Amino acid sequence: MEEPGAPRDRELNSADHLALMAGHAAHNYAPLDVVIASGEGAWVTDVDGRRYLDALAGYSALNFGHRHPQLIKVAVDQLHRLTLTSRAFHAEPLGPFCRALAGLTGKDMVLPMNSGAEAVETALKVARRWGHDVRGVAPDRGTVIVMDGNFHGRTTTIISFSTDEDSRRGFGPYTPGFTVVPYGDVEAIRQAITDDTVAVLLEPIQGEAGVIIPPDGFLREVRELCTRDGVLLIADEIQSGLARTGRTFACDHEDVAPDVYVLGKALGGGIMPVSAIAADRAVMDVITPGSHGSTFGGNPLAAAIGHEVVRMLSTGHWQQRATELGAVLTAGLQSLTDVGVVAVRSRGLWAGVDIDQTLMSGKELCRRLADRGVLAKDTHGSTIRLAPPLVVEDADLELLVDTLRTVLVAAG
């Protein structure tokens, strides 16, 4: 019950909201002291009226920016028609969405879910049942090879093979059946494959780790290895997919087609949590009625939005935009090596930037950027991640780089 005399929500300022969060919300995040009230395109405004350039885009969930009019229209139209039925019945938007997404991925079938972690869990279940039913692995023996430095979500099973102690500590006992190998090391994967291996799960580019790009040819070699040994290649394209890197999927940079795509984030257009896996019938047919599901997975509103996202991606416009603007961003970031930037890793409109750790931490850098109207996210000490919406303009990127230079110069 609201306390007597408490201000209405519309009257709360940033300090009021921060106090509410500190007092009533679980502390599973440590966000910057910015309370966003509205957004449009690549820009957001806080409750006190201050504008910021969003250089994170919801970890790629907002590839098309905040409230893209095309996506908002589809969402509003569907809101007036039908939002949920449960999968006990068919719903009009779902079949067309699945067909469109299957076409975009080049696969036969789609299994829709909600969050990215759910999609990863779905891929793992499919791989293990496929390993049992098709590969002939004995019950309860199917193993999956995963990469050091991975980030696939924070469910109990996923954190069981995480190498991030913050994600794991205190949450055991952990789910067995995973073998961790160094990212980018094909030979380590080769040696880890056994008769019980059902899949190799990897991020084509490791986002949470700091936009880590594997060695040239790594994805092709893993694809060849999986094909040779008869195990599935699962590509987690939740952050890297859907035009972020300048191609529809990051795997496309090496002309690699995984057996299973794991998709999410931008698939919901920044409006709904929408995720899915896509695979050919020979893999997906191991899923039978009752073996997997979700009340909200594939709901009509999510399907309508997801379908529009696929339509937008089918033109190639967003992929080209990410390529062209990515070149601008990369050049700008590389010009900062004289003021404290020690490494830049980028592909498309996505970059990991390492700064001289003697200057400040990545967290402190993000605080100082926010003070100057630019929102970014730190990771692993002195690294920040940049993933502006694909609707960003050249002038916005210039502002981003100039602000970063100003902060670094002041720290030097």
Inter-axis angle of helices 394-411 and 362-371, to 10 degrees? 120
Active site residue 265: yes
Marked catalytic residue, from 97, 151, 249, 296: 151
Active site residue 396: no
CB 296 within 8 A of CB 114: yes
Marked catalytic residue, from 236, 259, 354, 396: 236
CB 292 within 8 A of CB 277: no
CB 270 within 8 A of CB 303: no
Q: Look up tokens 């609707």; give the residue.
A: 391
Marked catalytic residue, from 54, 97, 265, 396: 265
CA geometry: angle 116, 224, 243, nearest 5 deg: 40
Does the bond joining 204 to the residue before it have cis omega, within 30 degrees of 0?
no
CB 376 within 8 A of CB 31: no
Inter-axis angle of helices 317-334 and 394-411, to 10 degrees? 30
The alpha carbon torsion through 405, 208, 119, 350 (nearest 10 deg) reads: 30
Active site residue 236: yes
Which sequence positions are flagged as catalytic?
151, 236, 265
